[in-house]
Structure 1
Amino acid sequence: MWFKNLQIYRLPAPWDMNAEKLEAALTPQTFQPCTSLDMQTQGWISPRENGILVHSVNQQLLIALGTEKKLLPASVINQVSKAKATEIEEQQGFKPGRKQMREIKEQVTDELLPRAFSINRTTWAWIDPVNGWLVIDAGTAAKADEVIKLLIKGIDKLPLEALHVVQSPVSAMTEWLAADTAPKGFTVDQDTELRAQGEGKATVRYVSQTIEPDDVQRHIASGKQCTRLAMTWADRISFVLTESLTIKRVAALDVIKENADTSSRDDDERFDSDLMLMTGELAKLLDDLVFALGGQMQVK
């Protein structure tokens, strides 16, 4: 398995946490399916569907947040509520007021919920207590916050911090493009976004196209800065770095795939091997990226 998006947070290194302690902390928030009256439920699920909430390999911890959400569009509620309001108007001789309409909508929602379809989503999180990383595979900060909020419920005084670096990603990416060079161990790929900082926030995107140095200089001179940059680390992992220090579109390249252990036919062994490979490579990538951005900033 490989994470596709990295929302990155810091923990103490090393952190006194192991699979047994984390399992005990997460158990009270084990996932429970929606009842007939629930619009959404969230809780921890077993990463390997074996009833164990924390999967541990080589001191690396993998957990998963399960989310079930009922699909009940507001347009459906409004349509049924309107029809019911018409019936009530005929019975009582006048249109329902605001309070009565609110009660009608609540009643309709309760009636429709048991028949609503559900969608399920899994959000993965990797905890590295040795090197002090919490990495959540989520495309948005909002989805990552769901994981963090539930972790805080289970772990008293969770020592979690946002990752702060000395040089902002926007400043660093703009400098790399302006100098037509990448930091040591990295190469710049073809996808780029440059955005002006003024009210209009004019944006230029290059997709699968190399940006010429003259074009870079012209855009920077006009006030634009780089807000997204496709890069490759050590010829092993490609990704897109964003202005918020989120890493997107993570992909293992052929050199990693060739070294992956495919000899075992056992699913559990293959899963553990992939997890060890992923966490080992991503830990090195994160260290090199933080170094390229001037190191971690200590926030007091």
Structure 2
Amino acid sequence: MWFRNARVYRFTKPFDIDPETLESQLQADAFKPCGPQETSRQGWVPPLGKHGQQLVHSANGCLLIALRKEEKILPGPVVKEAVEERAEAIELEQGRKVRRKEKDEIKEQVMLEMLPKAFSRNRRGYAYLSPKDGVLVVDAGSAKQAEDLASALRKSIGSLPVRPPALQQAPAFTFTGWLNGSLPLPSSLSLGSECELKDPSEDGGVVRCRGLDLKADEIRNHLEAGMQVTKLALTWDDTVSFVVDEELALRRLKFGDTLQEQLEAVDSDDAVARFDTAFTLMTLELSRLIPGLLDALGGEDRSAIVED
């Protein structure tokens, strides 16, 4: 259980919930498959999949949850072809032109007929709540996916006072300073070989660099021309590598050999034990990385957060 991405939400006021309470609240919205005429449905499922029945997996003071979304797939060209065939048949039989409104009605009927036989696409999104750290962490590649899961959780538990972390200064300012040498790179971080540079002007361009020495003259020339760093590959404490952007989204998380070796020490035949160990190792590391990264980026603005 390693997250591939991490979108962090900060609790804006004290929040605590025990596994049993969260379990009972999620049960009301547990996943049920789509009905014959439904195009999509979502609900909570056991994070351990076939190896578990509980909707909440608890370890290290963190509560792991999983949201499953089922979507019926109706290929647009297939639907369009069926609509055109029916419209042509009506025109031939009745000698009149089928207007757009009637075509829309035909399309709705075609889709209703196709839905029971349509293939389904299933996706799972994972997140964990860490009340002790004051964060919700979502494994999502986009802000929309993360917000969809947070919204579903908010609906299930009634209240979820979270927002993305706010910083004292813009991340792009700090990223740029690390590369142009105007700001020192913290000892806990090391540069990777990837970055994205943007011209801040209205019609400015974008330069994406991979596999390069980020201190090379080529990068420095872009920075001297006024471009800003909006994405940056980093490694934290030699244990976790990732790409972070100006929205503080962590992508392509990769957990290092030290953590992998600890996982390999667990009985490979015990899937539950391996899952639990990986989740514990991951959350322990992220509980260090998240505040450490926020501090390195200039410190968190906690003015809107209600403390204990």
Normalised by the length of structure 2, the TM-score is: 0.93
Q: Report the more deviating stretch, 122-131 or 159-168.
A: 159-168
1:278 alignment partner AA: M
Distance 2:20 2:142 in 1: 29
Matched-pair contact (CA < 8 Å) for 2:263–2:274:
no
| CA deviation after TM superposition for structure 1 residue 247, in Å | 0.5
Task: Kindly indicate whether residue 53 of structure 2 is the aligned counterpart of residue 57 of structure 1.
Answer: no
Q: Which residue of 1 aligns with 2:140?
A: 138
| Contiguous gaps of at least 5 residues in structure 2 | none
Matched-pair contact (CA < 8 Å) for 2:26–2:44:
yes
Distance 1:285 1:112 in 2: 48
| CA deviation after TM superposition for structure 1 residue 261, in Å | 5.3
The one of 66, 69, 72 equivalent to 1:67 is: 69
2:143 alignment partner AA: A
Q: Which residue of 2 aligns with 1:34?
A: 34
Task: Kindly indicate whether residue 6 of structure 2 is the aligned counterpart of residue 6 of structure 1.
Answer: yes
CA separation of 1:112/1:165 partners in 2, compared to 1, >3 Å: closer, same or farther? same
The one of 261, 273, 279 equivalent to 2:277 is: 273
Q: Where in structure 2 are the equivalents of 1:1-300 lying within 5 Å?
A: 1-11=1-11, 15-49=15-49, 50-179=52-181, 181-260=184-263, 262-264=265-267, 265-300=269-304
| CA deviation after TM superposition for structure 1 residue 223, in Å | 1.9
Matched-pair contact (CA < 8 Å) for 1:190–1:211:
yes
Matched-pair contact (CA < 8 Å) for 1:138–1:144:
yes
Q: Report the more deviating stretch, 92-101 or 64-73.
A: 92-101
Of all paired residues, the percent bearing the same amino acid is 38
- What's the secondary structure of 1:205's corresponding residue? strand
Q: Deviations over 1:23-65 (max 9, x none)?
A: 1221111111111111111111111233311111132110001
Equivalent pairs, count: 300
Distance 2:206 2:160 in 1: 39
Q: Report the more deviating stretch, 197-206 or 170-179.
A: 197-206
| CA deviation after TM superposition for structure 1 residue 212, in Å | 3.5
Q: Deviations over 1:237-287 (max 9, x none)?
A: 100011111000100111222233523232111111111100000110001
- What's the secondary structure of 1:29's corresponding residue? coil
- What's the secondary structure of 2:159's corresponding residue? coil
Distance 1:246 1:53 in 2: 26
Q: Report the more deviating stretch, 276-285 or 92-101.
A: 92-101
Distance 1:247 1:174 in 2: 17
Distance 1:261 1:11 in 2: 34
2:271 alignment partner AA: D
Distance 1:290 1:128 in 2: 17
Distance 1:116 1:137 in 2: 28
> Which runs of structure 1 show a deviation greater than 6 angstroms over 4 or more consecutive aligned residues?
none
Normalised by the length of structure 1, the TM-score is: 0.95
Distance 2:170 2:2 in 1: 26
Q: Report the more deviating stretch, 215-224 or 243-252.
A: 215-224
Matched-pair contact (CA < 8 Å) for 1:192–1:205:
yes
Distance 1:187 1:65 in 2: 34
| CA deviation after TM superposition for structure 1 residue 22, in Å | 0.9
Q: Report the more deviating stretch, 248-257 or 224-233.
A: 248-257
| CA deviation after TM superposition for structure 1 residue 98, in Å | 2.2
